[in-house]
Structure 1
Amino acid sequence: MKRYIYIITDRNRNNLHVGLCADLLKTLDFYKQMPTLFFDSAQQLSRLVYFEEINSEEQAMERFKYVSTFTRPQKEKMIRAVNKEWIDLTIGLNLENNMRQRPQMRPALSSVRRSAVTF
């Protein structure tokens, strides 16, 4: 089962929060629904700036423990290696997730073939 290690920050990059989850989109949605869970409204965690996808639960837990011990400069270096501009990666994840879902308006191919055969 896939696990994700992520770093989320506020709009001013004051706080860097390291987390571990099984469903990244649901976790990010939770942060949006509970904006003052960890901090006040001025420092709400809303920007996903880094994440890793790990296939093993044990490896993910080890990596999470390791990254959690990093100092702020070490976390910043890790983020800048893959996200130099510190852009919010949530937008790309939402777009990718929407592209994977099958459109609801298009009929299934098997039902089209069945109707063509019955004529």
Structure 2
Amino acid sequence: MKRFVYIITDRNRKNLHVGMCTDLLKTLKFYGEMPTLFFDSAQQLNRLVYFEEINTEEQAMERFKMVSTFTRPQKEKMIRPVNPDWVDLTAGLKYESGVRVRPAIYGRPSIQAVRRAVAV
């Protein structure tokens, strides 16, 4: 099962929090539902700025332990090459996960019904 090592921050980039999980979107939703879990409400962790996908649990745990010991400049050095503007990567993840799921065809107008309406 794949694991993710991630770094999230608040809107002012004051705090950097390193974590590890199996479902990144579910974890980010949890952070949104529990805004004062780690810090007060002014320092809400809500911006995913970095993540790595790792194949095995052992490798993920080793990477998590290593990144957790990094100083702030080391974490910033890791983030800046892949996300120089520190944009929230959550929107891209939600889009990507939506692309993989085939939308239901129920409720859509059929093409034949549209053709019949045009032909009449």
For Structure 1 versus Structure 2, the TM-score category normalised by the shorter chain is 0.7 to 0.9
Letter in 2 for 1:32: G
Residue equivalent to 2:10: 10
TM-score using structure 2 length: 0.87
Does the residue aligned with 1:17 lie in a helix, a strand or coil? strand
Structure 2 counterparts to residues 19-34 of structure 1, below 5 A = 19-34=19-34
Residue equivalent to 2:80: 80
Counterpart-to-counterpart distance in 2, 1:50 and 1:76: 10
Letter in 2 for 1:50: Y
Does the residue aligned with 1:48 lie in a helix, a strand or coil? strand
Superimposed CA distance per residue, residues 15-41 of structure 1 (whole angstroms, 9 cap, x where no aligned partner): 000000010010000001111111111
Unpaired segments ≥5 residues, structure 2: 107-120
The 4+ residue runs of structure 1 with deviation greater than 2 A are none
Superimposed CA distance per residue, residues 28-67 of structure 1 (whole angstroms, 9 cap, x where no aligned partner): 0000111111111110000000000000100000000000
Letter in 2 for 1:68: S
Structure 2 counterparts to residues 17-96 of structure 1, below 5 A = 17-96=17-96
Does the residue aligned with 1:50 lie in a helix, a strand or coil? strand
Residue equivalent to 2:103: 103
Unpaired segments ≥5 residues, structure 1: 107-119
Does the residue aligned with 1:58 lie in a helix, a strand or coil? helix
Structure 1 residues 1-10 or 34-43, which shifts more?
34-43
Q: Percent identity?
A: 76
Counterpart-to-counterpart distance in 2, 1:32 and 1:98: 20
User: Cα distance, 1:105 vs. partner?
Assistant: 1.6
Does the residue aligned with 2:81 lie in a helix, a strand or coil? helix
Superimposed CA distance per residue, residues 60-111 of structure 1 (whole angstroms, 9 cap, x where no aligned partner): 00000000010000000100011000000000000111111111126xxxxx
Letter in 1 for 2:102: R
